[in-house]
C-alpha cells in the first residue's frame, strides 16, 4: 500500500490548507484509485474553506476537498471492467462524500461510472478542467426535473429548438455550450465581448454582452429570429449581483423565457435559484447539482457513453483553457486565491 499525502482543511476558516499524510484507501467493487497528476480549482473549493459550515453543514473536518482530477489508474475494484492500471483518466471526485474521494491528494478514489479515459494527446492539466463543469451542466441540461433535454451524441441530430446559456465563458458554461450543441440545440449565450469569439468556437451561434442595458430585449429578439422554440435556460454566473431583473443571471433568464412565445418556461440554475414568489406565473426555476448525476442515468450517459468518444474524436474539447498555477499540493492554496479573485474563460490548475 503506498503512502498518501493530502491538502487538508483542518476546520472552516483554516488557512492555508495543511499538507500532510493521509490514509490510502483501496477501491470497493465499482471504484478505482488514481494517482493524481493534475487538479483544477472551482469556486466551491475556496467557498468551503471560508464558509463550509453554512454551505454544506454535514461536512466532517478535517476535510479533503477538490472535485476535478486527472491522473493514472493505480488500482481497480473487483467489478471494474472499463479501466486497467496505467490508463489515463479524468473523473468527478465526490469530495462531499468523504475524505478518500476528495481530489486534493496523491491517491483519489473515483467511481467507475463517473470516470472517463482521456486521449493520448491531451495533457492531464487540460483534461482536469472538465469534470465539475461538465457534471453541473449535465445536471441542469439533462436531468429529469431540470431541463430534461435530449442527450448529446457525437453525431448530433438537430432538435429544431434553441437554448439560452447565461454565462457561456464560465467553466460550467463552456461545458454546457458543447453538451447542448452536441444534443442538437442552437445555443445563444452571454459573456463579455472579449469572449464572444471563444464561446462561438465551442458552438454557440450568437453571444451577447451580459452587461448591456438592453440584454433582455436583445435576447428575446434573437430567439424570436431563430424561429426555434426555446427549450429553456441554464443560468450560470460566478457572481450574482443584486437581484434586479436585468442583472441577476437567473432572473434575467426568467425574463427571457417568460417573454418568449412557445418557450419551455424553465430555468436551471447553477447558483441559488430565485424564490418561488419572485417568479412570474408559469415560470419555474430549480437548482442543479453536479454530484447528483452520480445517482441517475445522466452520470453514465456523460462519463461512460459520451465523453470518452467525443474527446477522442475531438467533438468535445477541454474548456475553458487551463492555466497552470503551480506544482504540488502546497500550490493549491495559492491557486484558490487566484480563482477567488476572478477568472475569465480560464481554469486554474495545479500539476501534481
Ligand X SMILES: NC(=O)c1ccc[n+]([C@@H]2O[C@H](COP(=O)([O-])OP(=O)(O)OC[C@H]3O[C@@H](n4cnc5c(N)ncnc54)[C@H](OP(=O)(O)O)[C@@H]3O)[C@@H](O)[C@H]2O)c1
Beta-ladder partners of 39: 69, 350
Binding ligand X (rule: CB under 6 A), the pick from 70, 122, 230, 270 is 270
CA dihedral 210, 341, 317, 36 (to 10 degrees): -160
Which one among 31, 169, 333, 351 touches ligand X, defined by CB under 6 A?
Answer: 169
Q: Does 236 bind ligand X (CB under 6 A)?
A: yes
- 343 scored as a contact of ligand X (CB under 6 A): yes
Contact 98, 80 (CB under 8 A): no
Q: Report the C-alpha gap between 242 and 11 in whole angstroms.
A: 30
Of 66, 152, 182, 249, which one interacts with ligand X (CB under 6 A)?
249
With contacts defined by CB under 6 A, name the span among 8-16, 91-99, 115-123, 236-244 that binds ligand X: 236-244
- Nearest to ligand X of 80, 164 (CB atom): 164
Binds ligand X by CB under 6 A, chosen from 172, 268, 285, 302: 172
SS3 32: strand
> Cα–Cα distance between 269 and 234 in angstroms, integer?
6
**Size of residue set near ligand X by CB under 6 A:** 30
Can you tell me the distance from the alpha carbon of 97 to that of 11, in angstroms, rounded to the nearest whole number?
17
Contact status: 128 vs ligand X (CB under 6 A)? no
Cell numbers 447553477 correspond to 270
**Is 149 among the residues that bind ligand X (CB under 6 A)?**
no
In angstroms, the CA 167 to CA 95 distance is: 25
x/- map, 28-47, ligand X, by CB under 6 A: --------------xxx---
- Which 8-state DSSP code applies to residue 150? P
Shortest Å distance, C-beta 77 to ligand X: 26
Q: What is the largest CA-CA distance in the chain?
A: 61
- Using the structure block, give the residue that is written with the C-alpha cell 471526485: 93
Residue with cell 494517482: 35
237 binds ligand X (CB under 6 A): yes
Per rule CB under 6 A, is residue 178 in the interface with ligand X? no
Which of 132, 215, 254, 279 is in the footprint of ligand X by CB under 6 A?
132
Q: Which residues bind ligand X (CB under 6 A)?
A: 42-44, 132-133, 136, 166-167, 169-172, 190-192, 195, 210, 236-239, 249, 270-271, 288-290, 343-345
Amino acid at each position: 500500500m503506498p503512502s498518501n499525502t493530502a491538502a487538508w482543511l483542518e476546520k472552516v476558516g483554516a488557512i492555508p490548507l495543511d499538507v500532510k499524510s493521509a490514509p490510502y484507501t483501496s477501491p470497493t467493487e465499482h471504484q478505482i484509485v488514481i494517482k493524481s497528476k493534475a487538479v483544477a480549482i472551482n469556486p466551491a473549493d475556496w467557498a468551503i474553506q471560508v464558509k463550509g459550515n453554512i454551505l454544506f453543514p454535514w461536512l466532517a473536518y478535517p476535510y479533503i476537498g477538490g472535485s476535478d482530477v486527472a491522473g493514472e489508474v493505480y488500482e481497480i475494484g473487483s467489478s471494474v471492467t472499463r479501466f486497467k492500471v496505467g490508463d489515463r483518466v479524468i473523473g468527478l471526485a465526490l469530495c462531499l462524500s468523504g475524505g478518500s474521494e476528495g481530489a486534493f491528494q496523491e491517491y483519489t478514489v473515483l467511481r467507475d461510472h463517473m470516470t472517463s479515459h482521456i486521449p493520448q494527446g491531451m495533457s492531464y492539466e487540460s483534461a482536469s478542467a472538465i469534470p465539475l463543469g461538465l457534471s453541473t451542466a449535465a445536471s441542469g441540461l439533462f436531468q429529469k426535473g431540470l431541463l430534461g433535454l435530449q442527450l448529446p451524441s457525437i453525431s448530433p441530430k438537430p432538435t429544431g429548438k434553441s437554448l439560452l446559456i447565461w454565462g457561456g465563458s464560465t467553466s460550467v458554461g463552456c461545458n454546457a455550450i458543447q453538451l447542448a450543441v452536441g444534443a442538437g440545440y442552437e445555443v445563444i449565450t452571454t459573456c463579455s465581448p472579449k469572449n464572444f469569439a471563444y464561446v462561438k468556437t465551442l458552438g454557440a451561434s450568437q453571444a451577447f454582452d451580459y452587461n448591456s442595458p438592453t440584454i433582455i430585449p436583445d435576447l428575446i429578439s434573437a430567439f424570436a429570429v431563430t424561429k426555434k422554440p426555446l427549450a429553456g435556460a441554464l443560468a450560470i454566473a460566478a457572481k450574482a449581483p443584486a437581484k434586479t431583473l436585468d442583472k441577476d443571471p437567473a432572473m434575467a433568464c426568467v425574463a427571457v423565457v417568460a417573454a418568449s412565445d412557445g418557450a419551455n418556461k424553465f430555468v436551471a440554475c447553477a447558483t441559488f435559484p430565485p424564490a418561488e414568489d419572485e417568479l412570474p406565473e408559469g415560470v419555474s426555476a430549480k437548482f442543479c447539482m453536479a454530484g447528483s448525476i452520480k445517482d441517475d442515468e445522466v452520470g453514465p450517459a456523460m462519463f461512460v457513453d459520451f465523453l470518452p468518444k467525443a474527446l477522442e474524436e475531438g467533438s468535445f474539447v477541454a474548456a475553458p483553457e487551463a492555466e497552470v498555477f503551480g506544482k504540488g499540493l502546497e500550490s493549491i492554496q495559492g491557486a484558490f486565491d487566484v480563482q477567488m479573485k476572478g477568472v475569465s474563460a480560464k481554469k486554474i490548475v495545479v500539476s501534481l
